[in-house]
Structure 1
Amino acid sequence: MLSHSLRHTCSRLAAPATTSKAFYATVRNLRSQPSDSDDVEPPDNDFILSILRANPSSRDTKSYMANFGLRPRPNPLVHPIKDPLPSHSPPLPTRTLPHPKEEPRSVSPVVNDILNPIYRRTALVKIQGPFTDRQLDSVCRGIIYLEKLGLVSVIVIENDDLVRGDEHERDAILEETMRVAHFLESHGGKARPTLGALVRLGPSPDDEHTDAKGEYIPEAHAYPSDLTLIRSALRAGEIPVLPPLALDSFCRSTRVDANDVIAALVRAMVAAAPTPAPTSDPDLPPSPGDVDLTPLRLMIINREGGVPSYARAGLPHLLINLHSESHHIAATFQPAWRATHPTALATLALARTCLAAMPPSASAVMVNHRSPSSLIANLITNKPALSSSLPHGLAPARKLTPNTPTLLRAGLPIRVLRSPAALDRPKLTRLLEQSFHRTLDAPAFFARLATTLSFAIIAGDYAGAALVTAEPAPAPDPIAYLDKFAVLPAHQGDGTVDFLWVALHDESYGLGLPYAVNPNPGGHRGMGEGRDLVWRSRADNPVNKWYFERASGHCRMGADWVLFWCDAEKRLQREQGRRGNAGLSFVEDWEHGRIGLWKDVVGKIPSAWK
């Protein structure tokens, strides 16, 4: 919708405002009325609709198939069995056989794909009740859906209403374990409830010697040898359901926090992988009973939903960079949220500990029990329900609700550099050339940055970068120009793009707003006046669709280029407040002539490529 509207920006600038809904090249009118076309939640009991609603991109599909796709087995009709006799044995006598009535037919690859089991992966799931029967039925249905797609859950039960130390707490928690197993089996799954403890009480010996302050250290640990029951259940196609119990030094089981059990299991399962035994033929896939024990997802299913965000008026965070944001989120957590989301910060700390041990592609998700279908979307796309880098006004009100899940990634450190001398030229050159697949004219490019660089945002060890320059112009202030925005191919799809753009927003056109108080080293932390951000992109760039969704407007620059811009949000809010209910006019006085100025200045910027 947005990109279609923006295609006609320039022609509308000259057209009269014949309707109150006329759209100038900003998102101001889109901020008031959400679209009604696709905000109806399909029934969660429809497996196919849940998959279709995920709407995976081509990259999402490839990533899913890389993790869960079929490993084709050799066709015995195509690969005949080798002669088992030694080479020096005399040949066996032969005789002519009658021609068979029907020749063997080769099996269709499609049939093979249907008949062969998918390659299964594991997830650690915390079911954080209490839940009513109807709620738990919905949760278990979602878990069975995940199993159909190849993600087998290892479930740990928790009940927030059970008082620690109560006389009957053990009986109650075991009853809850059996209750979850019952609902899983009612939806066609096979569950293996465990009534004993699999983890050991006390921190891991490695944690006892750590000096990390403020880090979550689980009060339980496990060794790969402790996972025999889980491994057996997964190989048998069963879902382990575990109570939050741990063995003390006297081999007595005692109730502990479910977070401690999950953290202990994650570390042990990573240490125990890979479980499939190596085969003599590398082309053969794992047998149907084999399961990769390395957890690919951490899922927290609760009654609270995701982590509330100060930037979204208490609605959940969409995507969290744990490396850069977890301490800032804890520091800005409002007192009122401690009553409505009492376990949010504890879950945040759990996710950080677990994802530090899990593979880089792994993620964690916090989801309300009312949205089980969102687990399928997260599995297939490994992305949040809505992109966190979209303008807040473009998130449809009925899509972003208290039930919207929060996706958590281990993430990368984000820092802001103000001096060209602080840039690592070889690493930045490698990033730009691998991202754009072109050869950089390094001497000319860095000579230009030496005089024009405003700031650079660097993700990790140059896994991504956004370079903003101050372009001289016949105006009171120079033009803030996004010269380069690049992410290494290996990090495209892991959240780095969104993390980088959010930081770019907070340092340029979003500067001065309360929710731009970012924790990135070197950043302005929300202090200052926002500036219009301008950039150009080739007309055939496949990334333009992504730019259309985030830009305030765009305009063609001949046949080869498209000019994009984002209006300074603080100025727009100030103008809207000054005009009150009248709103902004079609073209404000300060907007006259600026697009022509931008096109003139940007069109003279030399290419950075050889």
Structure 2
Amino acid sequence: MLMHSYPASCRQLVRSAINTQRSQTFKAFYATIQSLRKAPQVETDDVPPDNDFILSILRANASSRDAKPYFASFSPRPRPSPTPVLPQSDESISNEVRAEPSPLTEQPKVSPLIASIIDPVIRRTALVKIQGPFSQVQLDSISRGMVYLEKLGLVSVIVVENDDIQRGEQDSRSVIVEDTMRLVSCLEKHGARARPVLGAVVRLGPRPGDPEMEQDFIIPEAHTFPSDLVPIRSALQSGEIPVIPPFALDSFCRSVRIDANDVIGALARGMVEAGSQNSSFPVAALADASIDASGEVDLTPLRLMIINREGGVPSYARNGFPHLLINLDSESKHIRETFHESWRHTHKTALSNLALAKTCLSHMPPTSSAVMVSHRSQSSLIGNLITNRPAVSSSLPHALLQGNRKLTPHTPTLIRRGLPIRVVRTVDDIDRSKMNALLEQSFKRSLEEVDFYDRLKRTLDFVIIAGDYAGAAIVTNEPSADLSQPISYLDKFAVLPNHQGDGTVDFLWVALHDESYGLGHPFSANPNGGKEGQGEGRDLVWRSRANNPVNKWYFERSSGHVRMGDWVLFWCDAERRLKQEQNRRGRAGLSYIEDWEEGRLASWSDVVQKIPSSWKK
């Protein structure tokens, strides 16, 4: 009965996960044959209960829209219909040399039905940094998280690090190898198959032949070639999780310990290149069921996961609690500049891990993301995998975030490559062709271009633009006879369909907050090309059709709303003024209509209802 109270997408994920879990017996059989070793006998009491895994999926609370990226990446693709082969005539056969197939080279064919049971999901990879040292209990928690992710189709390529053992220390190499073997044992104890890859898979120094040019990310002091990835590919094909110590081959072919960030940075580039070289694999694999049974995995990393003892990147806007979502393109420099000195002792590796995320995401696909998480929040990795969004939306009202019980020192930080954010204040600075394309694709209607821009020339306050018109927020000043100043009106809020779900919506709304109703607060001083927190916040007003499916999202971010027939009027109160009123009244709170609120709803409704439509009929 419990599952019926969750969305259909969650129930579908649970069924898919259960089917995947049942398939582990078949996968283990193939893995045992290939690795020539006997699977360890695991006592029933040592296996984590299925309920724990299922509840972790249900706690993700993924809507159908949230889960679409997961199903797009991991669901089996439709098989192409086989090309019919016409039988040859007896005459043509008699003219050919008849050769019996060699028993050593002949590959057994597996029926599509059996192949779908063995491998019910498309398996993808994640680069994982286990940044210890960890106790046995902590390793158990981390290992369960890795096992859960594997059941959902995400196979980890793990690099082990030990912050307490510096390079060059006596026995540092043996300690790292011991940590690697401990993690392998722990993974196998929890039902996974793991393989220690103790030989170096990267080479020290920059890749030969790379041009010398400045990059906006840190270039790893290591590189890898496709032949170096053979041990990783072999482990993945055998259904095993590769666990790698941070070793590299130097110019004398010696295996030396290097920084784990350099190993992961080199692997990110190398695995993406190897994955792109095999980009034709899914089509070929689907045409031949025997390839499905071989356990082939797409090497292109879908996620970067950094599991440590510190948690995410602390935020100046959240009193040291972690950032929820980071736009690397526009925020990384500002985060470094606002990083408190005390955090360099409590979160010693936060900035270096942020730099690692920027390095890896610069090579990984645009839809990829990185997550920094404490070992205490391993279950949150499932929610991140399914939804690819932060545990708590960064665009929620600041007061709601401050009082949110989900926001703790161990809340994960989700990191996206992101887009540059800029603010323009004149119509002449708008690229009309790109803006038209954005609005029409987002709203699926034809713009009345002449009237729309003529109105903006009279009323425009500012436009926030994300990237190359991947998203935009247009705010106007609407005159009101009843109010002392114009109404700050959100005329358009649009994001291209192919950027919905990649963080652009939240990035854009946070910039809108900082430029309008959030002005005057220190946490609004983000570098978005606008006022950077300087000035006085204003109430922001907008309208939406009553049947707009986005209204649920607006309800969560607005201070209030009023229904106006076929429309809903939303508004966000200026946060600094609300804070001042709260301080003035003490603990009594804002429980009645203040003087400055008198008549504003009627004035807003009157003005907003008279704003003409921007669309062709």
Q: Is the counterpart of residue 179 in structure 1 residue 166 in structure 2? A: no
Distance 1:382 1:250, change over 3 A: same
Distance 1:476 1:344, change over 3 A: same
- Preserved contact between residue 416 and residue 503 of structure 2 (Cα < 8 Å): yes
Deviation at 1:257?
A: 0.7
Counterpart residue identity of residue 532, structure 1 = D
CA distance in 2, matches of 1:225, 1:477: 68
Counterpart residue identity of residue 450, structure 1 = K
Could you tell me which residue of structure 2 aligns to residue 609 of structure 1?
Answer: 615
CA distance in 1, matches of 2:309, 2:561: 42
- Most deviating of 471-480 and 290-299: 471-480
Distance 1:158 1:82, change over 3 A: same
Distance 1:179 1:572, change over 3 A: same
Cα deviation, 1:524-544, whole Å, max 9, x if unaligned, reads: 010000000000000000000
CA distance in 2, matches of 1:441, 1:356: 39
- Preserved contact between residue 123 and residue 297 of structure 1 (Cα < 8 Å): yes
1:287 counterpart (284, 289, 292): 292
Could you tell me which residue of structure 2 aligns to residue 346 of structure 1?
Answer: 352
- Preserved contact between residue 155 and residue 241 of structure 1 (Cα < 8 Å): yes
Query: What's the secondary structure of 2:311's corresponding residue?
Result: coil
Cα deviation, 1:486-506, whole Å, max 9, x if unaligned, reads: 000000000000000000000
1:487 counterpart (495, 512, 517): 495
CA distance in 2, matches of 1:236, 1:370: 30
Could you tell me which residue of structure 2 aligns to residue 554 of structure 1?
Answer: 561
Query: What's the secondary structure of 1:209's corresponding residue?
Result: coil
CA distance in 1, matches of 2:285, 2:230: 26
CA distance in 2, matches of 1:113, 1:290: 13
Counterpart residue identity of residue 495, structure 2 = V
CA distance in 2, matches of 1:244, 1:591: 61
CA distance in 2, matches of 1:343, 1:281: 41
Distance 1:407 1:390, change over 3 A: same
- Preserved contact between residue 126 and residue 301 of structure 1 (Cα < 8 Å): yes
Could you tell me which residue of structure 2 aligns to residue 24 of structure 1?
Answer: none
Deviation at 1:576?
A: 1.2
Deviation at 1:65?
A: 1.3
Could you tell me which residue of structure 2 aligns to residue 65 of structure 1?
Answer: 71
Could you tell me which residue of structure 2 aligns to residue 211 of structure 1?
Answer: 214
Could you tell me which residue of structure 2 aligns to residue 17 of structure 1?
Answer: none
- Preserved contact between residue 473 and residue 490 of structure 2 (Cα < 8 Å): yes
- Preserved contact between residue 308 and residue 337 of structure 1 (Cα < 8 Å): yes
Query: What's the secondary structure of 2:376's corresponding residue?
Result: coil
CA distance in 1, matches of 2:443, 2:524: 29
Q: Is the counterpart of residue 307 in structure 1 residue 313 in structure 2? A: yes
- Preserved contact between residue 466 and residue 504 of structure 1 (Cα < 8 Å): yes
Distance 1:88 1:566, change over 3 A: farther
Gaps of 5+ in 1: 1-41, 91-108
CA distance in 1, matches of 2:400, 2:191: 40
CA distance in 1, matches of 2:152, 2:215: 38
Could you tell me which residue of structure 1 aligns to residue 507 of structure 2?
Answer: 499
Distance 1:85 1:246, change over 3 A: same
Query: What's the secondary structure of 2:292's corresponding residue?
Result: coil
2:136 counterpart (119, 127, 133): 133
Q: Is the counterpart of residue 337 in structure 1 residue 337 in structure 2? A: no
- Preserved contact between residue 268 and residue 363 of structure 2 (Cα < 8 Å): yes
Cα deviation, 1:143-184, whole Å, max 9, x if unaligned, reads: 011111111110000000112211100010011111110001
2:167 counterpart (159, 164, 169): 164
Deviation at 1:118?
A: 1.3
1:378 counterpart (373, 384, 393): 384
CA distance in 1, matches of 2:224, 2:486: 59
Counterpart residue identity of residue 593, structure 2 = V
1:572 counterpart (569, 574, 578): 578
Deviation at 1:116?
A: 4.2
Could you tell me which residue of structure 2 aligns to residue 20 of structure 1?
Answer: none
Cα deviation, 1:18-63, whole Å, max 9, x if unaligned, reads: xxxxxxxxxxxxxxxxxxxxxxxx9998100001111112123221
Q: Which has the higher contact order (CA 8 A, sep 6+)?
A: 1
Q: Is the counterpart of residue 512 in structure 1 residue 515 in structure 2? A: no
Distance 1:45 1:133, change over 3 A: farther
Deviation at 1:113?
A: 5.8
Number of positions where the alignment pairs a residue of Structure 1 with one of Structure 2 = 547
- Preserved contact between residue 320 and residue 409 of structure 1 (Cα < 8 Å): yes
Gaps of 5+ in 2: 1-47, 94-111
Could you tell me which residue of structure 2 aligns to residue 420 of structure 1?
Answer: 427
Query: What's the secondary structure of 1:178's corresponding residue?
Result: helix
Matches for 1:130-279 after TM superposition, within 5 Å: 130-205=133-208, 209-212=212-215, 215-274=217-276, 275=278, 278=281
Matches for 1:453-464 after TM superposition, within 5 Å: 453-464=460-471
Could you tell me which residue of structure 1 aligns to residue 27 of structure 2?
Answer: none
Cα deviation, 1:325-377, whole Å, max 9, x if unaligned, reads: 00100010000111110000001111011101000110000010001111111
CA distance in 2, matches of 1:433, 1:276: 33
Q: Is the counterpart of residue 542 in structure 1 residue 549 in structure 2? A: yes
- Preserved contact between residue 435 and residue 489 of structure 1 (Cα < 8 Å): yes
Cα deviation, 1:526-581, whole Å, max 9, x if unaligned, reads: 000000000000000000000000000000112x1000000000001111112222
Distance 1:317 1:426, change over 3 A: same
Distance 1:134 1:281, change over 3 A: closer
Distance 1:480 1:290, change over 3 A: same
Could you tell me which residue of structure 2 aligns to residue 477 of structure 1?
Answer: 485
Deviation at 1:187?
A: 1.0
- Preserved contact between residue 446 and residue 615 of structure 2 (Cα < 8 Å): yes
- Most deviating of 189-198 and 380-389: 189-198
Deviation at 1:84?
A: 3.9
CA distance in 1, matches of 2:604, 2:79: 58
- Most deviating of 457-466 and 383-392: 383-392
Deviation at 1:66?
A: 1.1
Query: What's the secondary structure of 1:370's corresponding residue?
Result: helix
- Preserved contact between residue 79 and residue 286 of structure 2 (Cα < 8 Å): no
CA distance in 2, matches of 1:242, 1:110: 35
Distance 1:584 1:206, change over 3 A: farther
Counterpart residue identity of residue 339, structure 2 = F
Deviation at 1:284?
A: 5.0
Deviation at 1:223?
A: 1.6
Cα deviation, 1:503-530, whole Å, max 9, x if unaligned, reads: 0000000001010001112x10100000
Counterpart residue identity of residue 458, structure 2 = T
- Preserved contact between residue 276 and residue 291 of structure 1 (Cα < 8 Å): no
CA distance in 2, matches of 1:87, 1:586: 95
Deviation at 1:71?
A: 2.9
CA distance in 1, matches of 2:143, 2:581: 50
Across the aligned residues of Structure 1 and Structure 2, the Cα RMSD in angstroms comes to 2.4
Deviation at 1:110?
A: 10
Cα deviation, 1:237-287, whole Å, max 9, x if unaligned, reads: 111110011111001111111000000000011111143765668755752
Deviation at 1:207?
A: 6.1
Deviation at 1:303?
A: 0.3
- Preserved contact between residue 73 and residue 284 of structure 1 (Cα < 8 Å): no
- Preserved contact between residue 286 and residue 292 of structure 2 (Cα < 8 Å): no
Query: What's the secondary structure of 2:527's corresponding residue?
Result: coil
Counterpart residue identity of residue 255, structure 1 = R
Q: Which has more helix, going by share of residues?
A: 2
- Preserved contact between residue 119 and residue 292 of structure 2 (Cα < 8 Å): no
Q: TM-score, normalised by structure 2?
A: 0.85
Query: What's the secondary structure of 2:377's corresponding residue?
Result: coil
Cα deviation, 1:177-197, whole Å, max 9, x if unaligned, reads: 111100011111111102221
